[in-house]
Amino acid sequence: MERWHEVVKKQWESEPKSEGFPPFNGVLRLASSLYGLGVKLRFFSCRYMKKRSLPGFVVSVGNLTVGGTGKTPATRMLAEWASKEGFRVAVLSRGYGGRYDKTLEVSDSNGLLAGPEEAGDEPYLLANNLPGVPVILSKKRYTAGLLAHKKYDTDIYILDDGFQHISLERDFDLVLLDASNPFGNEQLLPGGPLREPVDHLARADAFMLTRSNEESSAKESIALLKDRFPDKPVFQSDHIPDSVVIPNKNEVHAPGFLEGKRVIAFAGIAAPDRFRETIINLGAEPVFFKAFGDHHAFQTVELLKLITQKESLKADCLLTTEKDWVRIEGPLTEYPDLSYLTIRLALKSDKNRFFQLIKDKIRSS
């Protein structure tokens, strides 16, 4: 089932996106029905399968749709909070795109142990941005969790992209939803973006609306969730530009550094257009923008074309995302005018209530 899910997820994300979603024609309807049957069979079989439990508190950060809802920055935010609270934290991930065998320690309490080629871009980013927090990969999170407990005496485990990993018991299920379009066209893959039906959100303990910068969309999504799941708390968050890093000059600037600058920008993430909007909102002028598929493996010729474009248009800098930067190899790694934008997730409302909810769950468990 997980292999099938990755295939249809990759297919959905590789399709060019316009406003809305692909027309739900007969072929897609049949394919979505078959996918839905697989989902039902999986959940049915799990009813008779004993779930495994880790020795500690398990928080899952997941979503219902394919695409970028912000699981990585949300996982980072939770891990930073738990560490500051004095817990021994480990992040457990499957590691999309990573090249490892059974289990991989991306980092331990002392630093990085693996690169993005082995770990995948998102686990590597987490490990790089969470000093002192072990990040461990395994297709079976239970195995990764036992390793974390044995080596680091972990008492809080954060499952990155864990909502569909139902073989492991969890104490708190946080589901992220895009505030502007939480369910898409409400159809399962590949006819829509849903990884499982909307009514499965009943398993969640709380919802977090990401990219809640548009108040009208956020209010509509909150009303929709409150109508369907009245007993579930809903929190709002936004993706905030944090810094502009120019690695080959050892420079770190505030996001305002981009204001008034002409940039060549590129991104290989789930929603590249949002990156472009962010650049514009920061006051920069993207004189050329190139969108690649999510987790794109950059080729040397592609990177050289971007450098040539930057020079010919006399742009001020070549800009990408932090997630893309870790996947870049070859000549562009030494290009002096390459920069990347870092993003953090910030709670917009009820921040204290959100963390208190988790604290209460920890006490009760």
CA distances from 274 to 146, 267, 269 (A): 38, 10, 10
CB-based contacts of 212: which residues, under 8 Å, 6+ apart? 179, 218, 236, 237, 238, 348
* pLDDT band at 8; cut points 50, 70, 90: very low
Q: State which amino acid sits at residue 162.
A: G
Average pLDDT estimate for 224-248: 96
Give the H or E element holding residue 203.
none
CB-based contacts of 44: which residues, under 8 Å, 6+ apart? none
* pLDDT band at 96; cut points 50, 70, 90: confident
Between β-strands 135-138 and 172-178, what pairing exists: parallel, antiparallel or unpaired?
unpaired
Question: What 3-state DSSP class applies to 241?
Answer: strand
Q: State which amino acid sits at residue 349.
A: S
Flag the least confident range among 43-52, 103-112, 247-256. 43-52
- Cβ atoms 157, 54 nearer than 8 A: yes
| Residue 158 to residue 57: CA distance in whole angstroms | 9
Using alpha carbons, select from 181, 179, 231 the residue that is nearest to residue 348: 179
Is 61's pLDDT higher than 90?
A: yes
Q: State which amino acid sits at residue 4.
A: W
Model confidence over 243-300: pLDDT tens digits? 999 999 999 999 999 999 999 999 999 889 999 999 999 999 999 999 999 989 999 8
The top-scoring range by mean pLDDT among 42-46, 245-249, 347-351 is: 245-249
HSE of 105 in the Cβ direction (CA atoms, 13 Å)?
18
HSE of 59 in the Cβ direction (CA atoms, 13 Å)?
28
Question: What 3-state DSSP class applies to 129?
Answer: helix
pTM: 0.91
pLDDT above 90 as % of the chain: 78
Place of tokens 């239970």: 142
pLDDT at 19: 42
CA distances from 132 to 18, 50, 112 (A): 41, 33, 9
* pLDDT band at 22; cut points 50, 70, 90: low
* pLDDT band at 329; cut points 50, 70, 90: confident
Is 25's pLDDT higher than 90?
A: no
* pLDDT band at 17; cut points 50, 70, 90: very low
Please tell me the chain's helix, strand, coil percentages from 3-state DSSP, rounded to the nearest 5: 40, 25, 35
| Residue 73 to residue 343: CA distance in whole angstroms | 8
Is 166's pLDDT higher than 80?
A: yes
| Total residues belonging to the chain | 365
| Residue 332 to residue 303: CA distance in whole angstroms | 6
* pLDDT band at 40; cut points 50, 70, 90: confident
